[in-house]
Chain A
Amino acid sequence: MLETLLPILIFTALALAVIGAVRRIRLWRQGRPSRVNLLKGLVALPRRYLVDLHHVVGRDKMISNTHVATAGGFVAAAALMILVHGLGIANPLLGGLLLLASASMFVGSLFVARRRINPPARLSKGPWMRLPKSLMAFSIGVFLITLPTVGLLPDGLIEGSGSWLLALVLAGVVAWGLGEMFFGMTWGGPMKHAFAGALHLAFHRRAERFSTKKGGAGRSTGLKALNLEDEAAPLGVEKPADFTWNQLLGFDACVQCGRCEAVCPAFAAGQPLNPKKLIQDMVVGMAGGSDAAYAGSPYPGKPIGEHAGTPHGPIVALEGKALVDADTLWSCTTCRACVEECPMMIEHVDAIVDMRRYLTLERGKTPNKGAEVLDNLIATDNPGGFDPGSRLNWAADLNLPLMSDLKQVDVLLWLGDGAFDMRNQRTLRALVKVLRAAEVDFAVLGTEERDSGDVARRLGDEATFQALAKRNIATLSKYRFLQIVTCDPHSFHVLGNEYGELGGHYDVRHHSTFIAELYDAGRLTFSPWKGGSVTYHDPCYLGRYNGEFEAPRNVLKALGIEVKEMERSGFRSRCCGGGGGAPITDIPGERRIPDMRMNDVKESGAELVAVGCPQCTAMLEGVVDASAEVRDIAELVADALVERPTDEASGGSRRPAATTTAEEVIV
């Protein structure tokens, strides 16, 4: 009886899966076009899955091994089952492999089940709680029906006259497994992540994120430019169908593991954002419906079941509620912690900025100080509304060389808007002292410099960003320089990663990188560190955005400081709360993000926290009753500087003297 029933079951499930897949693909294709090389993507898929994705999943060894056993077992078992039971190729070798695969899957599913006993808050419940049982049903079912095939069980046991009940039960178990694994995969069950996830990897909007055989695994963190020349092109995302099709596909790939939720600073601060819920809301919007079925943590302070949307309805309502509330979108600090953690490589920040663009450019609804800051950027080229002519006032006594006088230098020192901030002016003065000590040939743009456009862009005002960027690019094109050095990671990121699309290509370095290079070249000498214990706070826009984790630590090491790392450091560093215009939109929460970060510092036991970003300095120094001092790396370096011995040999002790001379020849 099973021999006739099984092929029917398998092929029915497969046919239903195909129908579901077509329906799902049609949901994705509601999105806007996006140019992706489909074939190349599919060819790259195995590598992207096995190498790049696994690199992220592998950060949690337990779940990584569980997934290998379960998913590997399932893929093998499914393929073999179609051969053995579907097409009736009762080869004992295939049968044996099938037993092995389903056994592996069963072992994996035991671990999946164990994870579901008292699951952490970040995991979604609901249908995900039944998944381990479904996995077991599939693996046990397949295992048992395969036993007779390899002759481990007498045929008669199942085929016997009195065993039709057993056969029926077995068929039921297999049907359950098939239902979840094949049917559920394309009809929106938990297994959807496998189907959508694989295609998402293949057709990812940022192919540069993945490694190739030649290496790479580059970061791709710059926001994509809007086409402002074409007046018909939509400005940002109003409704789910305004996302590109592969963004929609990406949302569908979410496994609701909640790693993003666990690292999101806004969520931890009790602001109404949860990256996982946001992605699920986009899935709800894409398919149409309400969020009532969502079984994970809500946006803090926003009950589940009150929001609903359709593919062609607005995401943020003009009045009342739609799919998502605006304050959810404005809570994001664009720290990219969620993107960095996401095992499905989903791009949360892109989606948030896309939706912000619509709110700002079409609705004119940038909250709180947003409108004022944008007006200032338009009228005065800086967010504070200061007189652009006073950009260099802090350096009145420093006699800084100007690009407009020199025309050609090695290093263009980009000041950033910190030039108007009295705290950051101390950092800038320290940096100038360091550059002079190392006899670097540098100059500043002075009053020709404008805001890089970082804040405007992240507040969704692409028009102001592009206006600022184009004028900055025009200014920079007048001069010749080898590289740009800045103490502002936001300027660093925008100049280095986002101006390229608008025609400005520069070699940009963060001051910590540059100082590390100067030290390695023997151009700086430091007195030994006498202060207390020090920890280092990785700025998001330096670390996660640009992968620079080592240079600041190397500089601190050169200063003789042994860094006491915080629990969350490096690529897992917690945001200071200052990015993405978050201090401007200022969405209320239960706690402040910088308070939490200074608490991290306190837990590390450090008396001083070294930073490398004006935003981080401002945010962390704004913490009341902090246990640690906040110093920029440039300040620490400037304080430790000792007069370089005139003797060339001792100066070049870290490097052959000849190279040092060559270095100076370039100057």
Chain B
Amino acid sequence: MRPDLQQKQQGIDVAVLVSIGRHPTTGRARRAEQDARGLELALSMGAELPGTQISVLHAGSQDADSEAALRGYLGMGLESMTLLEQPEGSDAISTLADHLAATSPQLVITGARAERGEGSGLLPYALAEQLGWPLVNGLAAVETVENGVVTLLQALPRGQRRRLKVRLPAIISVDEAGPVARQSAFGPARRATFEVTATTPVADTELAQWHVAPARKRPKRLKIVKAASARDRFKAAASKAEGKGGQILTDVTPEQGAEAIYKLLKEEDVLR
């Protein structure tokens, strides 16, 4: 970073949305991997841009199990976290949107997908829609913040990066491309406090109608590799399968796009 850029930068208010994660092997509550990466991103922003205010939000109920998991975030070096208290099964989106609209942070960071609950990955989009803010997904780094414009590095498949300039306020979502979360330390985690804020919970009626069952392992499609040499085998193992027969749709209406996706899903037997 050039020093003249550094001088123009200023700290901003950042809100990090965190959820309660679920360990893939044991199912124990923990800090969610992607949310922790999002918080790491915010913390490293805070270290680089003095004056950055980080607030951490969680919408959910307060109990011993979830508290232990949430303290996992606090142990990364926070003094407190805002807990928007609402019972299990409430819709987090409206609660978070109300809170964010009221506190108006300039940047909201969230994980791309929750580890429990629906885990549909729609929360960032729903929030962006409700607040009317731009959303950038798959964030790799926040480069600079100048005059209300943030320069971001977005992760694209196969290690590519795209630099984007986004006007604040904005929402950014973090997945595995984000920075690895720092270790959570016991002492700071134990000392940190929860600021419990009462909310008017809205029951998630759609979720209540769903039938939830443990996922079955789906069979993997076999990749047939016809390799004559070690180099070919390596290429086959290291590279993603080249799309065959795929098509890139540009300048189509949403209806046409949806139709193309629907057709593909039918072809692939995902929808019957």
Contacts and interface: CB of A to CB of B under 8 A. Distances in A.
Interface of A: 231, 235, 360-366, 370-371, 374-375, 378-380, 385-388, 461-463
Interface string B180-197: 001111111011000000
Interface of B: 23, 25-26, 28, 30, 75-77, 182-188, 190-191
A385 B182 CA distance: 18
Nearest to B21: A379
Contact of A461 (B23, B30, B186): B186
Contacts of A371: 182-183
A463 B26 contact: no
B185 A362 contact: yes
Given A361-B187, A364-B77, A380 B23 contact: yes
A378 B185 CA distance: 13
Contact of B188 (A362, A366, A374, A461): A362
Contacts of A366: 183
The 8 A-B pairs with the shortest beta carbon distances in the complex, nearest first, are A364-B185, A371-B183, A364-B183, A362-B187, A379-B23, A463-B186, A361-B186, A235-B187
A24 to B, nearest CB: 32
Nearest to A464: B186
Contacts of A378: 28, 30
A385 B25 contact: yes
Contact of B26 (A360, A374, A379): A379
Nearest to B185: A364
A365 B186 contact: no
A588 B186 CA distance: 27
A406 B30 CA distance: 34
Nearest to A365: B183
A5 to B, nearest CB: 60
Contact of B25 (A231, A235, A370, A387): A387
Given A231-B190, A231-B191, A360 B185 contact: yes
B25 A380 contact: yes
A364 B184 contact: yes
A382 to B, nearest CB: 10
A375 B33 CA distance: 12
A235 B190 CA distance: 11
Contacts of B183: 360, 364-366, 370-371, 374
17 contacts: A231-B191, A235-B186, A361-B187, A362-B186, A364-B182, A364-B183, A364-B188, A365-B183, A365-B185, A371-B182, A375-B30, A378-B28, A379-B28, A379-B30, A387-B25, A387-B26, A388-B25
Chain A CB within 10 Å — which of B26, B28, B185, B191 has the most? B185
Contacts of B77: 364
A136 to B, nearest CB: 53
Given A231-B190, A231-B191, 10 more contacts: A361-B185, A361-B186, A364-B183, A365-B183, A366-B183, A370-B183, A378-B30, A380-B26, A387-B25, A463-B186
Nearest to B75: A364
Contacts of B26: 379-380, 387-388
B25 A379 contact: yes
A211 B25 CA distance: 50
A371 to B, nearest CB: 4
Nearest to A231: B190
A468 to B, nearest CB: 14
Nearest to A367: B183
B52 to A, nearest CB: 19
A483 B77 CA distance: 44
A362 B75 CA distance: 9
B271 to A, nearest CB: 33
A353 to B, nearest CB: 15
Contacts of A461: 186
Nearest to A363: B185
Contacts of A388: 25-26
Contacts of A374: 183
Nearest to A387: B25
Nearest to B191: A231
A361 B75 CA distance: 9
A371 B182 CA distance: 8
Contacts of A380: 23, 25-26
A363 B25 CA distance: 27
A595 B168 CA distance: 57
Contacts of B25: 379-380, 385-388
A364 B76 contact: yes
Contacts of B23: 379-380
Contacts of A379: 23, 25-26, 28, 30
Contacts of A361: 185-187
A126 B183 CA distance: 42
A446 B25 CA distance: 18
B27 to A, nearest CB: 9
Nearest to B25: A387
Contacts of B30: 375, 378-379
A627 B187 CA distance: 47
A449 B104 CA distance: 49
A370 B188 CA distance: 18
Nearest to A364: B185
A336 to B, nearest CB: 26
B219 to A, nearest CB: 21
A362 B77 CA distance: 9
Nearest to B187: A362
A361 B185 CA distance: 5
Contacts of B182: 364, 371
Contacts of A364: 75-77, 182-185, 188
Contacts of A385: 25
B194 to A, nearest CB: 15
Contacts of A235: 186-187
A434 B71 CA distance: 47
A179 B57 CA distance: 67
Contacts of A370: 183
A363 B23 CA distance: 24
Nearest to B29: A379
Contacts of B76: 364
B80 to A, nearest CB: 16
A360 B188 CA distance: 11
A446 B28 CA distance: 20
Chain A CB within 10 Å — which of B26, B182, B188 has the most? B26
Contacts of B187: 235, 361-362
A447 to B, nearest CB: 11
